Amino acid sequence: MKNRTVVTLCCCAALLFSIKSATAVNNDITWVSPTILDLKQAHNLCPLIKKSANIFIKETNDAIKEGLTIVEPSLYQWPLQIDEKPYLAVQYSSSIYCGSRGCSTYLYALNGSECTELDFPHISQQDIGVKGDHLYVQGDRCGIWSLADELHYVINLPNCDDDKEWDLSTVKTFGDYTVAQSYPEGSGSYVGKMAYVQVGGTRQTLTFEANEATGWLTYNVDGKVVQLIIDNDFISDSQLDINVMSLIKNAHKMSVVVDNTVYDVSTKGSGATMIYLNEFPRWVERVK
């Protein structure tokens, strides 16, 4: 796994302590760890951040008085240099759990004593990576975001949960397919690999996952059990063997059956994707 500085995070009442941000460089990606943001010691914060932080603290303390929560408000920060320009990501945390609920994270472009707020995905308290104008975000909504004229996601990986930590430095594309793996080559750990492609005409995602420890290759659409149609072959088994992988590799047409509805799936890049998913030193077989 990538080098990481571990920061222990705690929920405190009004006293928050500033910690100098820690960074690590891996695969030319600079990883920045979250640190506690102390409003009393952060003298150079722009007025917009101070105002938002104070409103958040007041609303959370009011909620505590009303018995709506017992978790004290906490603030965390990631000082970032994106394309040689200063930014600050700030998380407002009023929950033990961060994700789509309890935590909101904002990215601010800094310009002297002023700043501008940018949209940003909710993330858990993990490192944020920077390479050029790209942000690498781990956690509940892992992926890669680009910050050119505005912030937008380049790759938004599915199946991000507590059991899988996809190594964002391994992300690459084959045609219409995007692939990633959970640990870098040579890490000594069992590697997991993932590939995904959009389901035609929908916002759904067909995901393949290969597990080096078990030798299994499974697939799903947004977590649902589905079936594949590869040319004229109907595939209902949720675990794919080497023969089915060969069918996908050489497919002219592929569809997926989701809730009794058939959707087209691109085969552009499916061949290289199947080869990639099968490339494990411990159990490799040749996909013909």
Q: Are 41 and 14 contacting, i.e. CB atoms less than 8 angstroms apart?
A: no
For residue 174, being part of any structural domain is answered with yes
How many domains does the chain divide into? 2
* Domain membership flag for residue 95: yes
Q: Which stretches within the chain are classed as H helix?
A: 47-65, 242-249, 270-277
Residues 182 and 250 in one domain: yes
Same domain, 106 and 213: no
**Three-class SS of 112-160:** CCEEEEECCCCCCCCCEEEECCEEEECCCCCEEEEECCCEEEEEECCCC
Judge whether 4 lies within some domain.
no
Residue-level pLDDT at 263: 96
Number of H helices, E strands in the chain: 3, 20
Q: How confident is the model at residue 153 (pLDDT cuts 50, 70, 90)?
A: low
At which of 106, 137, 156 does a domain end?
A: 156
Domain containing 55 equals: 23-156
pTM of the model: 0.63
Q: pLDDT: is 285 or 74 the higher one? A: 74
* Residues 226 and 258 both lie in one domain: yes
Residue where a domain stops, chosen among 129, 156, 183: 156
The verdict on 175 and 195 lying in the same domain is yes
Residue 233 has pLDDT above 90, yes or no: yes
Mean pLDDT of 177-190: 76
Check residue 4 and give its pLDDT.
Answer: 29
Q: Which tokens sit at 280?
A: 């494990």
For the domain that residue 216 is a member of, what is the CATH number? Answer: 2.60.40.1880
Residue finishing a domain among 135, 156, 177:
156
pLDDT score of 3: 34
Looking up tokens 């597990």 gives: 211
